[in-house]
Amino acid sequence: MLFQKYPIASKMFMILRKLETKLVKELQQGICLRNAQDYDDRAIASLVQQLGRTLRPDRSGWKRGAIGFISGLWLVVALSQKALALALLGAVMPFGIFVGLMWLINWLNPLITWSDYWVIENNGSLIACAKLYEGNSTCELYDVFVVPHWRGNGLGTTLVKTLIEKARYPIYLACLPNAIGFYEALGFTCTTEPLDAELMRRLSLTNVRYKKLGLTAMVQTR
């Protein structure tokens, strides 16, 4: 009735529908959902790091500030005492810490089962990931992340639904309050049942920082 009364509104609606259809087709081209491989390790680590920054936005900045402050203080003290060795040590300290962290990541890398991850790839770049860990009687969902400018296209929903279909046992996860609605729409429910201590530890439910942020356990039993 509205479109009959206002023909221009009808034309605008049709144009928008065509644009939407074209956009969806463009998004679908080059997109692939697949099981992760060992060579995806660095790309997945980058996505998980981005996820960590959204959960702890002040943490990395605080660490960098602390390292910079300590290094600067060390330099001031060393130079005031004309201790060249101490000054050089303070100057290279941040670099040494960075190298040490990279070494630790490379050392831990073989211990990570990358095949537990599923990823969404677009033209050779990973734009989403999620991890499904399968235990003896439970499954656990971790590291669900979609690159910000790809959100709103249903990629996260598709990824989680895929893992739900592959899970053989009830799936447990822990999420912050702002993500509860997303998981409820996929069949998860908040649970207050007593959980195994090891499961709680793996889900970070015993972490004081996350408890203060309202970390909540959820389960999907189908």
Whether 99 and 87 map to the same domain: the answer is yes
Q: Which pLDDT value is given to residue 75?
A: 47
Whether 84 and 190 map to the same domain: the answer is no
In a domain, 93, yes or no: yes
Asked if pLDDT for residue 105 goes beyond 70, the answer is: no
Percent of residues, the chain, with pLDDT higher than 70: 62
Q: Which pLDDT value is given to residue 53?
A: 85
Domain of 137, CATH number, reads: 3.40.630.30
Whether 99 and 118 map to the same domain: the answer is no
In a domain, 200, yes or no: yes
Q: Which pLDDT value is given to residue 37?
A: 94
Angle at alpha carbon of residue 28, lines to 26 and 32, rounded to 5°: 140
Give me the number of domains the chain comprises. 2
Could you tell me the residue range of the domain that residue 105 belongs to?
58-110
Q: Which pLDDT value is given to residue 107?
A: 47
Whether 135 and 184 map to the same domain: the answer is yes
Of residues 31 and 64, more confidently modeled = 31
User: Among 110, 130, 153, which residue terminates a domain?
Assistant: 110
Asked if pLDDT for residue 108 goes beyond 50, the answer is: no
Region 13-18: what's the mean pLDDT?
61
Rounded Cα gap, residues 55 and 65, in angstroms: 19
**Residue written as token pair 């990824």:** 159
Whether 85 and 183 map to the same domain: the answer is no
In a domain, 183, yes or no: yes
Written as six digits, the tokens of 40 are 């995806």
Looking at the DSSP bridge assignments, the partners of residue 145 are 129
Region 62-87: what's the mean pLDDT?
54
Q: Which pLDDT value is given to residue 2?
A: 45
Express each pLDDT in 161-204 by its tens digit. 999 999 999 999 999 999 999 999 999 999 988 999 999 999 99
Nearest to 62 by CA among 105, 70, 212: 70
Q: Which pLDDT value is given to residue 222?
A: 72
Q: What is the pTM of this model?
A: 0.67
Q: Which pLDDT value is given to residue 218?
A: 97
The mean of the pLDDT values for the chain is 78
Classify residue 120 by its DSSP letter. E
Q: Which pLDDT value is given to residue 58?
A: 52
Whether 117 and 216 map to the same domain: the answer is yes
Asked if pLDDT for residue 29 goes beyond 90, the answer is: no
Rounded Cα gap, residues 188 and 218, in angstroms: 6
Whether 70 and 147 map to the same domain: the answer is no
**Residue written as token pair 């692939």:** 32
Whether 117 and 106 map to the same domain: the answer is no
Rounded Cα gap, residues 26 and 76, in angstroms: 56
**For 18-161, where are the E strands, in sequence order?**
31-35, 117-122, 125-134, 139-146
Residue 131's SS3 state is strand
- 9 pLDDT band, cuts 50/70/90, is low
Whether 184 and 209 map to the same domain: the answer is yes
In a domain, 7, yes or no: no
Written as six digits, the tokens of 182 are 């997303």
Whether 81 and 103 map to the same domain: the answer is yes
User: Among 69, 84, 110, which residue terminates a domain?
Assistant: 110
Whether 68 and 101 map to the same domain: the answer is yes
In a domain, 25, yes or no: no
Rounded Cα gap, residues 125 and 2, in angstroms: 44
**Residue written as token pair 């221009």:** 8
Nearest to 118 by CA among 93, 99, 145, 91: 145
Express each pLDDT in 75-95 by its tens digit. 455 445 555 555 455 555 555
Whether 116 and 183 map to the same domain: the answer is yes
In a domain, 120, yes or no: yes
Q: Evaluate whether 203 touches 172 at the Cβ level (below 8 Å).
A: yes
- 41 pLDDT band, cuts 50/70/90, is very high
In a domain, 18, yes or no: no
Report the Cα 89 to chain-centroid distance in Å: 35
In a domain, 20, yes or no: no
**For the chain, where are the E strands, in sequence order?**
31-35, 117-122, 125-134, 139-146, 171-175, 189-190, 216-220
Asked if pLDDT for residue 34 goes beyond 80, the answer is: yes
**Sign, CA torsion 78/98/48/172:** negative
